[in-house]
């Protein structure tokens, strides 16, 4: 089986199993092993995640905003010249304290012609034991303290074009559609009774888009800015290094 077909099969399988247990960072860049050579490449980044969530454990499935900050390290490993497997680790804060998370992603260069690149990706991340605050209208509680796990799985396609204004810089704007599944599951404490109640929520909107700008310097080192829009804008910034 040819590598592109093999990778596409793995991508489909990953999309199927990702919602069962892992969550995703930003959409990433269009740099692949053919650009890096034998070096190892890794990114460090910050993301502010904002999504509207349907609280399915509340009557009427009210929609409330979820807001979290995360700092992540993403290590790239190669799967042939046009595909890579990424490992993510970091910390996330949804309102009260930072907690560890982990994740993984697959990226594949689906098409390239001259300076045009098209990449496909699927990724996931899992953040357990987050502590945040959210309004629970049906329970009559404002800014309820909620303990929960977070699961997100993404898949999408990015279209980018490489501009080379000089030998020391490549500028790559990119954009594309993204599908993102988010699940929150945990409990909250009723301030009146002191008892614990179930808390569950899911994304209000599955489909969105990513748009970004990457500045690549000699040696595949880069600085990247990205925004993703579902119900409102999320933003991330990442710096990549090769060694």
Tens digits of residue pLDDT in 140-162: 888 888 999 999 999 999 999 99
**Token reading at 225:** 């800015």
pLDDT of residue 81: 94
**Token reading at 209:** 């888009």
Confidence band (pLDDT; 50, 70, 90) for 12? very low
Question: Is 7 a residue whose pLDDT tops 60?
Answer: no
Mean pLDDT of 47-76: 93
Mean pLDDT of 188-197: 80
Strands 221-229 and 207-217: antiparallel
User: Residue 170, Cβ neighbours under 10 Å: how many?
Assistant: 20
pTM of structure: 0.84
User: Residue 231, Cβ neighbours under 10 Å: how many?
Assistant: 16
Question: Is 2 a residue whose pLDDT tops 60?
Answer: no
Mean pLDDT of 175-181: 96
Confidence band (pLDDT; 50, 70, 90) for 195? confident
**Token reading at 79:** 């799967």
Tens digits of residue pLDDT in 82-136: 999 999 999 999 877 899 999 999 999 999 999 999 999 999 999 999 998 888 9
Mean pLDDT of 19-26: 49
Question: Is 17 a residue whose pLDDT tops 60?
Answer: no
Query: 195, 191, 203, 196: which is closest to 228 by C-alpha?
Result: 203
User: Residue 238, Cβ neighbours under 10 Å: how many?
Assistant: 23
Between CA 24 and CA 109 the distance in angstroms is 19
> CA-CA-CA-CA torsion for 28, 65, 134, 149, nearest 10 degrees?
-30
Confidence band (pLDDT; 50, 70, 90) for 24? low
Between CA 149 and CA 129 the distance in angstroms is 5
Mean pLDDT of 5-21: 40
Mean pLDDT of 181-187: 95
**Alpha-carbon distances of 37 from 33, 41, 82, 86, 243, rounded to whole Å:** 6, 10, 11, 16, 11
């Amino acid at each position: 089986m040819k590598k592109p077909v093999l990778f596409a099969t793995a991508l489909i399988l990953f999309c199927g199993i990702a919602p069962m247990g892992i969550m995703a960072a930003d959409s990433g860049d269009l740099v692949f092993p053919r650009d890096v050579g034998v070096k190892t490449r890794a990114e460090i980044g910050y993301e502010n995640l904002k999504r509207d969530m349907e609280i399915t454990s509340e009557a009427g499935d009210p929609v409330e905003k979820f807001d979290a900050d995360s700092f992540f390290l993403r290590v790239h490993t190669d799967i042939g010249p046009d595909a890579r497997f990424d490992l993510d680790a970091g910390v996330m804060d949804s309102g009260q304290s930072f907690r560890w998370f982990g994740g993984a992603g697959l990226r594949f260069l689906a098409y390239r012609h001259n300076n045009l690149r098209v990449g496909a990706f699927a990724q996931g991340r899992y953040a357990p034991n987050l502590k945040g605050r959210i309004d629970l209208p049906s329970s009559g509680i404002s800014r309820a303290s909620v303990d929960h796990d977070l699961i997100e799985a993404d898949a999408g396609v990015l279209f980018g074009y490489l501009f080379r204004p000089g030998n020391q810089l490549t500028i790559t704007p990119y954009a594309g559609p993204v599908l993102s599944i988010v699940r929150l599951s945990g409990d909250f404490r009723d301030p009146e009774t002191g008892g614990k109640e179930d808390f569950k929520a899911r994304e209000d909107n599955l489909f969105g888009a990513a748009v970004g700008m990457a500045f690549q310097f000699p040696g595949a080192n880069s600085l990247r800015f990205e925004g993703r829009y579902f119900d409102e804008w999320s933003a991330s910034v990442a710096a990549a290094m090769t060694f």
